[in-house]
Chains A and B, each alone.
Chain A
Amino acid sequence: MVHAVTSPFQRRIAVGVSFVAAIVLVAVLNRRAPGAGDAPGAARFHLTNIATEAGIDFVHHGPTLDPKLDNIAFLIGSLGAAVSVADVNNDGWPDLYLTNSRFGYPNALYVNRGDGTFVDTARAAGLADVNRPGEGVSMGAVWGDFDNDGLEDVLIYKWGYLQLFKNMGNLHFTDVTERAGLRRWMNANGAVWFDYDRDGLLDLYVAGYYRSDIDFWHLKTTRIMENSFEFATNGGKNRLFHNLGGGRFEDVTDRMGVGSTRWTLAVAAADFNGDGWPDLFLANDYGPEELYLNDHGRRFTLSRVGLESDSKSGMSATLGDVLNRGRVDAFVTNISEPGYLFHGNNLRLNFLPELGRFQQAAEGVVADAGWAWGAQLGDLDNDGRNELFIVNGYVSGDRDRSYWYAASKIAGAYSRVFEDARAWPAIGTASLSGYERSRVLVNRGLAGWSDVASQVGVTDEYDGRAIVLVDLFNRGVLDVVIANQKQPVLVYKNSGVPGNHWIAFKLVGTRSNRSAIGAEVTLEAGAARQLQIVDGGMGFASQNDRRLHFGLGPTGRADRVVIRWPSGTVQTLEHPAVDRLHVVTEPGS
């Protein structure tokens, strides 16, 4: 073309045409941006919201705060809808615990009747009336058998005092916080049970979000916000509580080096580097993620593993084996808003053993899901690969009024201005990334991910916060429960995929903690390997079923299962029967 076009006029025309073509190309490429709808690809399962039929009529209520925060109360008070799974009465049916966040509004413990319906027993169990003036309001709960008595206990983390309830059996719980040494005021939005020193007793890590000297109902100052949009370090201090046994805990935060003051919204624990000791992965708002590597239970080290320079708005920390490599990868949700902010979700593939770092692999529909909150990895179609379910949306107010422009004014301000809630423009009744739909991403292996949300029946626009995957009806398929902020809970029953097989494991620790939290199960079928870990709390304000569910596809092949117990014991099961739940007790005692 350079030689063919010779006259100055022709050259100018050629450049002009190229110029216009470039603008057209920008428009065309923009239309290919993800988020507009489902990608090609058929989903073979369907999700139906059966909350009402199941008797789960829970509606979350957000906190009311000190009037000094009225200008942005909707922003600050948009947290607290949480859901966690536990078999609280050991009847073999998973139960659900849902939190409320307003004084006088009860939390709910939905006990699974086993007939497709649930009944709220929180009040009788002593787990309802926990949102009280002077005590704070619930932000989430994690279950674990901290005293190894065979009954799942629960830690409720709050904007207020932590509360530990011991399961006394017969659906009755006793508040043992004071005796346990855990009566601490924290403004926490995440926690995880894990046994960091492998002594067989579950320890507790609680993530502070706002500073712990803040009482949201009696504010002494309005300087409570983050001091930087992307590099804030003035959040609440995270706390590690060591389980001493005998129902007592000791704060070992400073000794163990895990007192991050970043704005941690979510925390998950797993052995990322394969040394047999559980590490801590933090998703921090207004800052980079953090990985604290566990040095044989003696101390944690904040490690440089490719996370430190990628500062975003971490909301949720989800662990799972994304590519069936037998590795624990991490998925962290973030914020995307056209025109304003593309932080993008992170899919951190774990290459710690080989490269000493994570490799970012999020792109397309995985990277951009709107203002994303909770997420979970699980095999929804039992094909042997994990799907990714992401819930989205921050504040759904007026549909035609957005707070994004107003927020953009303050976001670049000098830190002393930015951290003062009074300096923030009033949100009024505007939305901030409201009415966003959830994403259901089907894993196509090397072909990537396809968003099939509307195809599978997920069309709600609630402000999703917490999500759990659990086989609610013991059918061999993962169902989905979503806690929405100031909105009803959703219970999606999964149709499953006929012909695809599955296998599940319930682990009972003996030398390890009884809940087996932190145990890794690797399922081998031919050359393929799937790894899952028993969950002590992950995602955002959520905890999945402790039973581990593996899809096996149409062949239903399971050659071998290797269980790495938290104690270090390795157990192998050869050719386990498929399409059933195996209850496995840790060998030796």
Chain B
Amino acid sequence: MTAVALHGLRERGRTLWARLGRMDPRYPVSFLITLILVLGEARYGILGGYDRLVIALGVCVATELLLSRWLQGSVANVASAYITGISLALLIKPRADLLWPFALGGFLAIASKYVLRYRGRHLWNPSNFAISVLLLVAPASVAILSRQWGNDLATNAVIWCFGLLIVSRVRMLHVTLTYVACFVALAALRHWIVGGPLLAEIAPITGPMYQLFIFFMITDPKTTVSTVRGRIIVAATVAVAEAALRLAGDFHVAPLSRLYPAPPILALAIVGPVANVIDLYRAGRSGRST
């Protein structure tokens, strides 16, 4: 390859990178989740049936179109519903013969954006809300992502590379890195408290639930607070809340047992909306836009 061709390639890369930065963040994120879906399905059959994907995606998109038109008078961009639908299809692992969790989960996820609002913004990441409801209300029917990525480092590496690239372009890298750093530090703390193997405490972050969590949920621009400092504090708080749940799990605190299958998701479901309400309230008082 000649130097001219190399230079051309480099220039094209720079242009693409710049365009990616200007793009609506939902599109690169849509690309990433599609990549995860294709990779997971091709290598590991992670969906467990295309009917699940069709229902989750279909209900999310239909609910978005219907509610946006009905309540806001305009047809919404369905990129967000697309991301939510795929997230639900990947993360919800119900009993073998059940499809209703995908339908009701899809409806709850999108409807939560229109129902659970404060000062004009929704408070929960849609898939985070729906999965939390399903796990808390229907544990006999719904589990969370039991299928793993083959416990395979290569698949993990591909997703992490693309994930970090994309969250950096949508300017949420600080959220991901804060959460990951806090998770690892708190894992060491939990290891010190509980006394089990350190690797067992760190291991969960290599699982697919975490990949979806750190690249899609906790970094969702629509449900994060307005400042970089605030987002860092929220990410750290979510990690602390998760560590508290995990410690409760280690010490077998029975009343919290429904929270143990998915500690990060439920920690975000608790911390996220509280942070958003505080942020929106403070913004309202100061007249700042969010």
A residues with CB within 8 A of B: 2, 8, 11-12, 15-16, 18-19, 22-23, 25-27, 29-31, 33, 35-36, 71, 227-231, 309-311, 336-344, 360, 362-364, 367-368, 400-402, 404-406, 408-418, 420, 422-426, 430
Contact = CB atoms under 8 A, between A and B. Distances in A.
B203 A22 contact: no
A405 B151 contact: no
B237 interface: no
Contacts of A2: 70
Nearest to A35: B140
Contacts of A360: 96
B45 A311 contact: yes
Contacts of A31: 140
Interface residues on B, range: 35 or more
B200 A338 contact: no
A417 B104 contact: no
A19 B115 contact: yes
B199 A15 contact: no
A415 B252 contact: no
Given A15-B67, A426-B196, 6 more contacts: A16-B115, A23-B133, A71-B197, A227-B151, A368-B96, A417-B199
B58 interface: no
A408 to B, nearest CB: 7
Interface stretch (B11-19, B27-35, B106-114): B106-114
Given A339-B261, A402-B252, A414 B104 contact: no
B94 A26 contact: no
A310 B204 CA distance: 23
30 contacts: A8-B71, A15-B115, A19-B108, A19-B111, A19-B112, A25-B104, A26-B134, A29-B138, A33-B95, A35-B140, A228-B148, A231-B150, A310-B45, A339-B143, A339-B144, A341-B146, A342-B94, A342-B95, A343-B146, A368-B96, A400-B252, A402-B252, A405-B260, A409-B201, A412-B208, A412-B210, A414-B151, A414-B153, A414-B156, A417-B199
A413 B146 contact: no
B206 A413 contact: yes
A230 B148 contact: yes
B104 A229 contact: no
Contacts of B44: 230-231, 311
A425 B197 contact: yes
B151 A229 contact: yes
Contact of A423 (B94, B149, B203, B204): B203
Given A26-B104, A342-B93, A415 B151 contact: yes
Per DSSP, chain B at the interface is helix
Interface of B: 44-45, 67, 70-71, 93-97, 100-101, 104, 107-108, 111-112, 114-115, 133-135, 137-144, 146-153, 156, 196-197, 199-201, 203-204, 206-210, 249-250, 252, 254, 257-258, 260-261
A401 B261 CA distance: 15
A410 B258 contact: no
A130 B249 CA distance: 42
Residue of A11, A30, A311 contacting most chain B CB atoms (<10 Å): A30
A29 B102 CA distance: 13
Contact of A412 (B153, B197, B206, B254): B206
Nearest to A31: B140
A402 B257 contact: yes
A15 B71 CA distance: 9
A26 B203 CA distance: 32
A18 B258 CA distance: 25
Residue of B133, B138, B257 contacting most chain A CB atoms (<10 Å): B138
Complex A-B, nearest 5 residue pairs according to Cβ-Cβ distance, in ascending order: A412-B207, A413-B203, A30-B138, A344-B96, A363-B97
Nearest to B134: A26
Contacts of B257: 402, 405
A30 B150 contact: no
B143 A338 contact: yes
Per DSSP, chain A at the interface is mixed
Contact of A411 (B101, B108, B148): B148
A29 B100 CA distance: 8
B150 A405 contact: no
Contacts of A344: 95-97
B252 to A, nearest CB: 5
Residue of A71, A229, A360 contacting most chain B CB atoms (<10 Å): A229
Contacts of B208: 412
A8 B114 CA distance: 12
Nearest to A368: B95
A363 B96 contact: yes
Contacts of B141: 29-30, 33, 338
Contact of A406 (B115, B144, B210, B250): B250
Nearest to A424: B200
A26 B129 CA distance: 14
A297 B109 CA distance: 56
Contacts of B197: 71, 422-425
Contact of B96 (A25, A342, A410): A342
B152 A338 contact: no
Contacts of A362: 96-97
B260 A415 contact: no
A133 B148 CA distance: 38
A66 B152 CA distance: 29
Contacts of A401: 252
Nearest to B147: A230
Given A8-B71, A26-B134, A412-B206, A15 B153 contact: no
A229 B149 CA distance: 9
B114 to A, nearest CB: 6
A229 B137 CA distance: 27
B70 A11 contact: yes
B203 A340 contact: no
Contact of B199 (A19, A227, A337, A413): A413
Given A228-B152, A409-B200, A417-B199, A339 B258 contact: yes
A290 to B, nearest CB: 15
Contacts of B204: 408-409, 412-413
Nearest to A343: B146
A414 B112 contact: no
Nearest to A403: B252
Contacts of A11: 70-71
Residue of B104, B197, B201 contacting most chain A CB atoms (<10 Å): B197
Contacts of A406: 196, 200, 249-250
B35 to A, nearest CB: 19
B138 A26 contact: yes
Contact of A18 (B95, B111, B146): B111
Contacts of B108: 19, 22-23, 26
Nearest to B251: A401
A331 to B, nearest CB: 14
A415 to B, nearest CB: 4
A425 B203 CA distance: 11
Contact of B261 (A340, A363, A400, A422): A340
A26 B137 CA distance: 7
B133 A415 contact: no
Contact of B200 (A8, A19, A415, A425): A425
